[in-house]
């Protein structure tokens, strides 16, 4: 009997929610059409509560966003409720919550949402303290990419919001190192360029590394293109993890020839070319759809923080055709160039017409 008042109150709330939903239907359908109550609202509250009790937390949250009645039946503190989930499921839960929130992103370390900060971009290298260890360190010192940037860029493009911040997240970054400068390290690339782009709903990145004036291949400092390919490769215990070094050596001894390749453990394509005294390495990465910072499509690039060489993560990339990332990115670059040309022609013709009108008006006034 102790629960009877609360049950009556809940039933009254349910009745009010049903009435509210019916009024909304009336407004949408118009007075001339016969409004019908939604099928969901015809079910008794007891049966709906029984159905909801069998849903996982994420499904309950999604149901709570469908209508006012759903919010009444599932009302709870979602943050407290998420604490009962395993850590991996907590991250997936908050990633789903953040999917349509343009001003928030999910933090895998805190298992919660953080507000966006426009000063946080891969080029600015500003990140919250909780994001230590979440940066992709295979891209070099000048470009600190995190899953946060990928999630927000894809979300902004999908929702059509925060266009200024989106432009900053997709801004190319060029870093030049000069011999003799204080920051110069012998064997480093002289030029490093990062070009991010959203291609078919996925966050892709082109990286260009140029090594100028090296007389021998052994003068180049060791560097990684991903968690599985290193130059020079010194850990020969894993099959096919030294292919990049072999291709680089082949290019070095055959100037003018282009060697294309890919990683068999993660979605990365590359091209290597030696032209005169320049060794140019071009890389194309596919970082996925940005849904969760613990999805394998991102973590396979991030790798294992404790021992990336002997215990690196890998994935059997069935959906990655060798060279497909390179081709998609190049096609996107061509389309981007065409749009720029058309836009320039349109703006140019408008400016010409405006100038002509101004000249004619000045002539008439004169």
Residues 348-363: tens digit of each pLDDT: 666 666 766 665 655 5
Using a cut of 0.85, tell me whether the model's pTM lies above it: no
Query: What is the crossing angle of helices 87-98 and 57-64, to 10°?
Result: 20
Architecture, CATH, for domain 4-76: Up-down Bundle (1.20)
Q: Looking at the DSSP assignment, which residues form a beta bridge with residue 194?
A: 173, 207
The single residue listed with the structure tokens 């910072």 is: 293
**Residue 68 pLDDT more than 60?**
yes
User: Range(s) for CATH 1.20.1280 in the chain?
Assistant: 4-76
Of 303 and 180, the one with more pLDDT: 180
- Residues 6 or more apart whose Cβ sits within 8 Å of residue 52: 60, 63, 73, 74
* Averaged pLDDT, 23-38: 53
- Taking the C-alpha atoms of residue 267 and residue 319, their distance in angstroms, rounded to an integer, is 9
Confidence of residue 49 (pLDDT cuts 50, 70, 90): confident
Confidence of residue 310 (pLDDT cuts 50, 70, 90): very low
**Residue 59 pLDDT more than 80?**
yes
Instruction: Compute CA distances 204 → 259, 298, 327, 338, whole Å.
Output: 21, 12, 12, 19
Residue 309 confidence (pLDDT) = 44
Sign of CA dihedral 202, 191, 278, 184: negative
- Taking the C-alpha atoms of residue 45 and residue 84, their distance in angstroms, rounded to an integer, is 26
- Residues 6 or more apart whose Cβ sits within 8 Å of residue 282: 206, 207, 208, 209, 270, 271, 272, 273
**Residue 337 pLDDT more than 70?**
no
Residue 104 confidence (pLDDT) = 95
Confidence of residue 5 (pLDDT cuts 50, 70, 90): low
Element containing residue 39 per DSSP (H, E):
helix 39-42
- Taking the C-alpha atoms of residue 55 and residue 63, their distance in angstroms, rounded to an integer, is 10
Of 236 and 196, the one with more pLDDT: 196
Distance of CA 203 to the CA centre of its chain: 5
Instruction: Compute CA distances 274 → 134, 145, 179, 257, whole Å.
Output: 34, 28, 20, 7
Instruction: Compute CA distances 174 → 194, 330, 346, whole Å.
Output: 6, 19, 30
Of 52 and 313, the one with more pLDDT: 52
In terms of C-beta density within 10 A (0-12 exposed, 13-18 middle, 19 or more buried), how is residue 278 classed? middle
Among 15-29, 274-288, 323-337, the range of highest mean pLDDT:
274-288
């Amino acid at each position: 009997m102790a629960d009877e008042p609360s049950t009556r109150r809940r039933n009254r709330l349910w009745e009010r929610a049903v009435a509210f939903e019916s009024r909304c239907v009336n407004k949408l359908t118009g007075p001339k059409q016969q409004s019908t109550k939604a099928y969901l609202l015809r079910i008794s509250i007891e049966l709906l509560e029984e159905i909801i009790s069998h849903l996982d937390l994420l499904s309950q949250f999604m149901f709570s966003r469908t209508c006012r009645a759903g919010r009444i039946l599932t009302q709870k503190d979602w943050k407290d409720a998420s604490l009962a989930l395993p850590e991996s499921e907590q991250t997936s839960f908050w990633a789903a919550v953040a999917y349509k929130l343009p001003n928030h992103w999910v933090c895998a370390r805190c298992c919660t949402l953080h507000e966006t900060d426009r000063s946080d971009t891969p080029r600015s290298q500003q990140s919250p303290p909780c994001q230590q260890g979440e940066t992709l360190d295979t891209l070099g010192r000048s470009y600190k990419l995190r899953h946060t940037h990928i999630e927000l860029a894809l979300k902004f493009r999908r929702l059509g919001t925060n266009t200024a911040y989106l432009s900053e997240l997709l801004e190319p970054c060029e870093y030049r190192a000069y011999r003799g400068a204080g920051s110069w390290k012998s064997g480093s690339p002289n030029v490093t360029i990062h070009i991010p782009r959203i291609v078919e709903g996925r966050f892709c990145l082109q990286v260009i590394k140029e090594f100028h004036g090296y007389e021998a291949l052994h003068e180049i400092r060791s560097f990684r293109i991903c968690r599985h390919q290193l130059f020079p490769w010194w850990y020969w215990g894993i099959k096919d993890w030294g292919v990049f070094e072999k291709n680089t050596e082949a290019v070095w001894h055959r100037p003018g020839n282009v060697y294309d390749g890919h990683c068999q453990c993660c979605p990365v394509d590359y091209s290597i070319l030696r032209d005169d005294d320049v060794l140019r390495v071009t890389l194309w990465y596919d970082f996925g759809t940005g849904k969760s910072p613990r999805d394998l499509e991102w973590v396979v690039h991030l790798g294992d923080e404790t021992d990336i060489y002997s215990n690196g993560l890998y994935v059997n990339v069935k959906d990655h055709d060798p060279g497909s990332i390179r081709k998609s990115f190049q096609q996107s670059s061509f389309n981007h160039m065409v749009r720029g040309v058309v836009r320039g022609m349109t703006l140019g013709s408008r400016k010409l017409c405006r100038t002509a009108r101004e000249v004619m008006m000045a002539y008439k006034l004169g």
